[in-house]
Amino acid sequence: MKKLLAVLLVTAVLAGCGHRQLDYVATPPPGMNHEQAVAAVEQGFYEDWNTKRRPQSVTVTDNYILLADGIVSDGSSFGSAAAIGNGAIVAGSSRVTTKEMGQRIYFGSIGGVVIYQHKVKKNRFVVIIQGADGGELRRINARNRQLAERFGNAISYLKAHRR
């Protein structure tokens, strides 16, 4: 009986934590232009307070958002030398492949944007970019609702005004 009460108490406490979805629909505000939308998207990604998910660079094109998470290099080398009298013969080989790791979010693949507010820390918001199937493409964490909505509205603008 005591175990059952303890489980119910823990369940009730955990149910009160987390986030709640806001009543919000991403809508491009009147007067927003392409440059303002790009700036809002860049700011949203760069100011994400979760540094583990913050990209190193953001590039917004006409068709997608490129989030670069760093450069990865893969290399191999080979070296050999053989002594011949007072000299040596040396042979070597090297191969290095460098590529930028990241994610592309195509505007045509975006289904919508939803915003959640932390239930305990009222000044913490999570903006989720959803795919057309409702799955999560990417999320950012914002410190206030205004920034969260500005980011969502900018995504909506860029999706609606693809060039």
pLDDT at 96: 63
Does 3 fall in a domain?
no
Q: Over the stretch 93-102, which tens digit does the pLDDT of each residue have?
A: 666 666 566 8
Q: Over the stretch 74-97, which tens digit does the pLDDT of each residue have?
A: 666 666 666 777 766 766 666 666
- Main-chain phi, psi angles of 15, to 5 degrees: -65, -25
Report how far residue 160's alpha carbon sits from residue 28's, in angstroms, rounded to the nearest whole number: 8
Split at pLDDT 50, 70, 90, the class of 18 is confident
Tokens for 85, please give them. Answer: 């009298």
Does 9 fall in a domain?
no
pLDDT exceeds 90 at position 46 = yes
Split at pLDDT 50, 70, 90, the class of 36 is very high
pLDDT at 8: 42
Report how far residue 86's alpha carbon sits from residue 94's, in angstroms, rounded to the nearest whole number: 27
Mean pLDDT of the chain: 81
Tokens for 17, please give them. Answer: 């934590």
Domain total for the chain?
1
pLDDT exceeds 50 at position 14 = no
Average pLDDT over residues 129-142: 94
Does 95 fall in a domain?
no
Does 32 fall in a domain?
yes
Residue-wise burial string across 77-104, b where 16 or more C-beta atoms lie within 10 A, e elsewhere: eeeeeeeeeeeeeeeeeeeeeeeeebee
Predicted model pTM: 0.71
Report how far residue 76's alpha carbon sits from residue 12's, in angstroms, rounded to the nearest whole number: 55
State the residue range of the domain holding 27: 17-70+102-160
> What is the CATH classification number for the domain harbouring 113?
2.30.29
Does 40 fall in a domain?
yes
pLDDT at 13: 40
Residue 110, exposed/middle/buried by CB under 10 A (0-12, 13-18, 19+)? buried
Does 54 fall in a domain?
yes
> Nearest Cα to 109, choosing from 132, 86, 90, 93?
132
